[in-house]
Structure 1
């Protein structure tokens, strides 16, 4: 029967052998720090096997066994160690190696812009990682598509804004040259036209500045309790001359009695842009209807409907984008389309108020609706 000192000697011998093999394994792992995952795992497995072999041989030597028994034992543990290490290497190469190669290939495909499908190349952790890569590739593809659309819209927007600025500038240059040369047939009319073009360009620059503050998040609203009818009256008075020139009448329905917390200046501008859009596309001698009601969730819904043909269904989600312009369905012979900023500014102002805007075809024409909260949240922001 083993005594306590014998057991202590066995434990100490095994601990020393294991510590030496572990130190050797750490050194080899550092030397092979840039090696494959399979080689790193094989080194760890080899260290575990070698520590057992070394401990067994060392303890047997301390037991003073015969040379014959020692030889048999060494052959047994030696063959077992070699076979175990070989099996470990093959297993790691076939499982871990295959999984790693699959992940490397997936990463390369993501870099090339491919969209991956979830796969199970090997071990559970690698399968989960591959699933995450597949999900990331889908999100990246969607992001790239959105960036491409935004880039195309940006290029188109700059082309349009350049045209819209160049055209009045060219006209103003020609008229100023005529005035300078003294060949203008009607000097006062030329001056009035130049002033009108300057006002148009000033409005366009103001729209660009407004849009930049909305998109950068630097717009600071100053909400107060306002009467909706007052805001609409101010917006209608501004657009009335353009509407009267085309025989378009603006009527109100259900607007009285509504109040909400809003920035009166910004919200009036948004309503004015919506009315200007309606007047621009409404048929001559038609009617624009402004209506309002409170929804079940205590939001105010303000709608502006004209009797125009509206935009194509596929453009309903794009008409509030920066630079978007109406297609032929909304084209009229009256005025210009502008730089495609008006509705984008409306969406920015409405969203800054915590609301939403959408467009829809109705039996009598085309309607733009704005949904706005009527109260201020506890944190001071606009909300329910």
Structure 2
């Protein structure tokens, strides 16, 4: 599975800064060096001027001017990145997140570190802005498709062109389910953005929970012929919010089914790591592999994978990001791990909520 990312269409402006000094690791040291150099040059210049018979009233002001000029020249190199960051901040305030500040590869002082941090912040803001644009485009597309299909089918029925047969009504129902799923995704996304989610913590049987989660996915799989094999001991119990965890496992398992060839098998296996107090679950999609460089990107919002060359997987691109969010709510993690069998999503969840052991009912 490969990952498709939408490149930015903007031109990236890099603000270059030449710095005579910047190789030292401390701004204070650099200032001390500048003062020392300018003082030494002023002393030598004053000595030569006085030695050649210049008046002190002329030599001293001239020496002072040269000293100030040297200090000004080097200090501009020190503060130039700050001016560039000021200009970049103004550009970002106007909505251009492509600007970057360049201080050279040998800038190790506080100003250079600040410039690099500024560039990292600009990268994140550019990514967030691109995600916002992608969200508008994706949501518009995802909503338009089922709405257009519903409108066409209902208009045809109203005009008497199409009969309200069970098959046509089922098609309408499928489109409404698609709209409902998209709205649920968007509601989950809003909870993610707000950082708010109420959890109903309770003890439950993990094997039974997985069986209940898998059943509707097997029905929805239709004629693809996938087999979901569950290898989970029956004595595993854990503490958590079943609704949020069902979002987690539904999205991970549905993703495995989506990227599996028809007639293949998806494996769900779990065990309890007693040393760490974790329930470790692996969802394995046989035959498919995810490149290492794409393993972090697939958990970003609105990033869609490909089922083959030039074939986009469809969906909203929100499922895996919501799965990771649900795991993090429980203090757990979701990651793609190395597995020769295929794409392996490993889900690690604490047996006890917030790692605080509570008595089982």
TM-score, length basis structure 1 = 0.67
Pairs aligned (count): 292
Equivalent in the alignment of 1:102: 77
Higher relative helix content:
1
Q: How many angstroms apart in 2 are the aligned matches of 1:363 and 1:231?
A: 28
In structure 2, the residue matched to 1:147 is 125
Q: How does 1:234-313 map to 2 (within 5 A)?
A: 234-243=212-221, 245-295=223-273, 296-313=275-292
Q: CA deviation at 1:345?
A: 0.7
C-alpha distance in 1 between matches for 2:197 and 2:227: 33
Cα distance change on mapping 1:376 and 1:360 into 2, 3 Å: closer
What does 1:163-174 correspond to in 2, within 5 Å? 163-174=141-152
Cα distance in 1 for partners of 2:164, 2:353 equals: 56
Is it true that 1:195 corresponds to 2:182 in the alignment?
no
Equivalent residue for 2:194, pick from 212, 216, 230: 216
Equivalent in the alignment of 1:53: none
Tell me whether 1:115 sits opposite 2:102 in the alignment. yes
2:296 to 313, 317, 320: 317
Q: 1:346 to 1:254 in 2, by over 3 A?
A: same
Q: Secondary structure at the match of 1:138?
A: helix
Contact 1:215 1:348 in 2 (8 A): no
Secondary structure of the corresponding residue to residue 189 of structure 2: helix
Q: Does the 8 Å CA contact 1:299/1:371 hold for their aligned counterparts?
A: yes
For 1:380 and 1:89, the matched residues in 2 are separated by 74
Q: How does 1:1-384 map to 2 (within 5 A)?
A: 90-95=66-71, 97-110=72-85, 111-112=87-88, 113-117=100-104, 131-243=109-221, 245-295=223-273, 296-329=275-308, 337-377=314-354
Which structure: greater strand fraction?
2
Aligned residue for 1:326, secondary structure, equals strand
The alpha carbon displacement at 1:344 in A equals 1.2
Q: Which has the higher contact order (CA 8 A, sep 6+)?
A: 2
> Deviations 1:83-125 (Å, cap 9, x if unpaired)?
7777666545533x344322332223334522224879xxxxx
How far apart, CA to CA, are the structure 1 residues paired with 2:102 and 2:356? 42
Deviating more after overlay: 365-374 vs 305-314: 305-314
Q: Secondary structure at the match of 2:305?
A: coil
Change over 3 Å in CA distance of 1:257–1:99 after alignment to 2: farther
8 Å contact from structure 1 (residues 118, 134) kept in 2: no
**How far off is 1:375 after superposition?**
2.2
Q: Deviation of residue 217 (structure 1)? A: 0.4
Contact 1:224–1:262, Cα closer than 8 Å, also in 2 = yes
Between 84-93 and 280-289, the greater mean CA deviation after superposition: 84-93
TM-score normalised over the length of structure 2: 0.71
Counterpart CA distance in 2 for 1:321 and 1:203 is 19
Name the CA distance, whole Å, in 2 between partners of 1:330 and 1:297.
Answer: 41
Give the SS at the match of 2:300. coil
341-350 or 186-195: which moved more? 186-195
Cα separation, 2, equivalents of 1:320 and 1:326: 10
Determine which structure has more spread, i.e. the larger CA radius of gyration: 1
- Deviation at 1:172? 0.9
Deviations 1:124-156 (A, max 9, x none): xxxxxx822211111111222222233333323
> CA distance change for structure 1 residues 180 and 377 in 2, over 3 Å: closer, same or farther?
closer
